[in-house]
Amino acid sequence: MQLHHMNAAPLLIELLVEELPPRVLAKLGTSFSQTMREQLLDLELIDAECAFESFATPRRLAVLFQSVLSQAPEREVKQKLMPVKVGLDANGQASPALGKKLLALGYPHLGVSDLEMVEEGQVQHLWLIRDQPGVSIELGAQKALNEAIAKLPIPKVMSYQLHENCELPGWSSVNFVRPVHSLLVLHGEKVLNLTALGLKAGNTTKGHRFEAKKSIIELGDAKSYEQVLLDDGAVMASYAKRRQSIEDQLNAAAKSLGPAFNVAHDEALLDEVCSLVEMPNVLICEFEKEFLQVPQECLILTMKANQKYFPLIDDQGALVNRFLVVSNISPKDTSAVVGGNERVVRPRLSDAKFFYDQDRKIKLTTRATGLSKVVYHQQLGTQAQRTERVQCIAQGIAKELSGLSKLSAQQMQWTDQAAQIAKVDLLTDMVGEFPELQGVMGHYYALHDGFAKDVAWAVEDHYKPRFAGDTLPRGMPGVVLALADKLETLVGLFAIGQHPTGDKDPYALRRHAIGVIRLLREKSLGLSVTRLLALSANAFEGHADVIKKSWAEITESLIEFIYDRLSINLKDQAYSSVQVESVLSIRPDVLDDVDLRLKAVKSFALLPEALSLASANKRISNLLKKVQDQAMDVEVNPMLLVEGAEKALFETMQDVLPQSKLNFEAKNYTESLLLLAHLKNAVDLFFEQVMVNAPDEALRLNRLSLLSRLHTAMNQVADLSRLA
C-alpha cells in the first residue's frame, strides 16, 4: 500500500561526478538506486510499492523516490537478552552481566521491571520488548546513502584531493570511482543535512558541459529534477530513456537514407555509447567505397571497437559505405562534426585494408611453420603440436563417421586440410590487431589460397559454438574439426590437472564441454562419448611426462564433467530434475537420443502404473546390491518357478520384454517404456506372494535371476527407480 502520510514527500539524491567508466555505468546506476531502496524500505521510510526512478549519465548517479516519510513509524523492538538465572542475582536484582548488556544496547536506564520473562522449554529468558521511535528522514537517508556508496560495484578506486571550498572538517583526500563535485539532496522542497565523500548536501547541480542554458542549476523541489535537467541542463538523465532515444534515432537515421538501410545493432555498443553521452544526437557519415573490398567483419569491428560507430548494412546483410555517429553535441551546422568523424575513421579503415592486403601475400600453408614458435601452453607445447593433436583427433572422428556413412571421402580430405590451417590466421597482422577475428580471417585467406568452400567454412566454424545460443558449424568438416578442437582442449587441460574449480574457469572448459554436447546432440552424429575421449587420449601419447594421473582417472573425471554440464543444460529446459537424473544416471554413451529418452520418461511418468513400477524397480535394485554379481549370470530356470505369482511374472515378461527390447533397439523409447506398464499387476503380485530370499539356494538364485533380467529390461531407457 502506498504511503499517504501528510509528512511524505519525494526524495531526490544525486552525486555529480567526473566522467564515470562507461562499461559499468549502468551497473553503478542500478546498484545505487537499489541499495537506497533496500535501506529506506528496511527503515520503513518507504513501503514496498513506492515508485522510484534511477538516473545515470556519464556525470551523475541519482535516484528519485516518489513518497518518503519525514519520520518512520514507531516499531516494536524484541530482543532476547539472556537466561533469567544469568541476568538476575539471588535477590532478583539485575546482575552485572545484564547491566553491561543493557548499556551496550543503549538502554542503561532500564531496570528489571522493564523487561519480560519468557519461558522457553525448561529455561526462562529475559526479553527486551520496547516501542522505539522511527528513524528521521535525515538519519535514514544518511544511512541509506552511506550503504549505497559503500556497495557500489566500483571496478577500480581512485584517490583525489577535495577542493578547499567544499571539504568537510577531517576530510582532505577521498577514495571513489571518480572525483565527486557536488551532492544534491532534496526531500520535497527541503534540503536535507546530509554529507558524503567530504561534501555537504545542497540543491544545485550542473548540466551538459557545453550545451546547458545555466552554468549552475538550482532545483526548487525534488520531483522536477528530470524535467529541469532536460530544459536547463540539456541532459537526458534517465539511462533507460536515453538508450531508447539513441536506438530510435539510429533507426530513423538509417531509414532516412532509404528502406534498404539497416543499423548493425550491437547491444553492448548501445550500452557503451549511452554511457558516453548526456544528450545523444545521431549523425550520418560516409567513407570511401574502395574500403568495401576489405572483409566487412574487419571494417565493422574497427568502426565499433575503436570509434564506437554504428555501421549500416543493406537488406542482404552487406556493409554499405555509410555509418552513424552518436554525438554528445547538437550544433546547428553539423558539417564540422560529420567531417571530423569521417577524417578519424579513414586511417582506421586504411590500416584494415593494409593488413588485409599484406596478409594475402603469404599463403596459409607457408605461414604454418610459424606455429612451432607460438607457445600454446607451457606443459602442452606449441600451437604446431596442438595442431597435430587436433588433426589426429579429427582423423579419428572422421573415420568413425565414415563408418556410420555420415562422412564422404571428399569430406574427410577437406577436414584434414582444414585441421592443418585452422590456427594459422593467429599469425596474421589482421588477427594480431583484432584477435576477435580469429577464424573469420582464416576463412577469407583460405578462399584466397584456393581451398574449397567447405575447408574455409571449417576454419571459421571450428570455434563454434562460442557462446550460448551461437550457431553450429555449417558443413560436416566444420563439425568434425569443432569437435576435435574442443576435445583436444578438454582432454589436454584435464590431463595436466587444469580443470575448473568453483567459479574459476580460466580456459572456458565449461563452454567447451557444452560445445561438445551441442554438436553431438544437435547434429545427431551417433558417436560414443567414451570412444571420443579414447580417440582424444591417443593424441597425447607424446606428453606422458606432464600427465600425472592414469587415463582411466582422467576419462572418468571428464565424463563426470560432461554429464554435469548436460544435466544443468537439460534442467534449464522442460524436464524435471528427477527425469534428467533418471536418464543421465545410466550414462547414455550416445547423446543424440538423450531427448528421446527424456520424452519417453516424461510420458511414462504420466501413467497410473509408473509409481508402482518405479518403487518395485528401486526395491529390486536394493535386493540385487546385496548379492554377488556372479549370481546374476544364472539363467532363469522355468522348472524352479514354483509359486503362481512368479510363474505369472515370468510369463508376462516373456510376452512384454521382447517387444519392449525391439522398440528400444529401434529407438522407439516411449513405446518401449509404455509396454512395461503391462508388467505392473504381475510385479505387484510377485512382491505380495513370493519370498525372494527363500531358504532354498536354488530357488533364491532363480528368483534373483528373474528380477535381474527384469531390472535390466526396465533400466535400458533410464533408471526408473529414480522416479519413485
Q: What are 212-227's pLDDT values in tens digits?
A: 999 999 999 999 999 9
Q: Quick check: 400 and 531 in contact, CB under 8 A?
A: yes
Q: Quick check: 475 and 376 in contact, CB under 8 A?
A: no
3-state secondary structure of 274: helix
The CATH code of the domain at 366-552 is 1.10.3210
Cβ contacts of 156-163, under 8 Å, gap ≥ 24? 156/21, 162/198, 162/199
- Please, where are the H alpha helices in 360-439? 364-367, 383-403, 409-421, 429-433
94 bridge partner residues: 88
Determine the length of the chain. 724
- Please, where are the H alpha helices in 214-359? 225-233, 239-256, 267-274, 296-301, 307, 335-359
pLDDT of 228-264, one tens digit each? Answer: 999 999 999 999 999 999 999 999 999 999 999 999 9
- Measured CA to CA, the distance from residue 55 to residue 38 in angstroms comes to 17
| Residues in Cβ contact with 5 at an 8 Å cutoff, skipping those fewer than 6 apart | 69
pLDDT confidence tier of residue 166, bands split at 50, 70 and 90 = low
CA dihedral sign of residues 13, 14, 20, 26:
positive
Answer yes or no: is pLDDT of 631 > 70.
no
In the chain, where the domains are located:
8-72+136-233, 75-132, 239-333+340-359, 366-552, 600-723
Phi, psi of 498 (to 5 degrees): -100, 50
Cis peptide leading into residue 73 (ω within 30°): no
The rounded Cα 544 to chain-centroid distance in angstroms is 36
- Measured CA to CA, the distance from residue 586 to residue 412 in angstroms comes to 33
Determine the longest span between alpha carbons in the chain, in angstroms. Answer: 105
Q: For 689-697, what is the mean pLDDT? A: 88
Q: Do domains 366-552 and 600-723 have the same CATH topology?
A: no
Tell me the CB-side half-sphere exposure of residue 312, using CA atoms within 13 A. 25
Of the candidate CATH numbers 1.20.120, 3.40.50, 1.10.730, 1.10.3470, the domain formed by 600-723 belongs to 1.10.730
Which pLDDT value is given to residue 610?
87
pLDDT confidence tier of residue 632, bands split at 50, 70 and 90 = low
Q: For 446-472, what is the mean pLDDT? A: 96
3-state secondary structure of 443: helix
User: For the whole model, what pTM was predicted?
Assistant: 0.82
Helix 680-689 with 644-665: angle, nearest 10 deg: 150
CB atoms < 10 A from the CB of 650, how many? 19
Answer yes or no: is pLDDT of 3 > 50.
no
Cis peptide leading into residue 473 (ω within 30°): no
Q: For 69-76, what is the mean pLDDT? A: 88
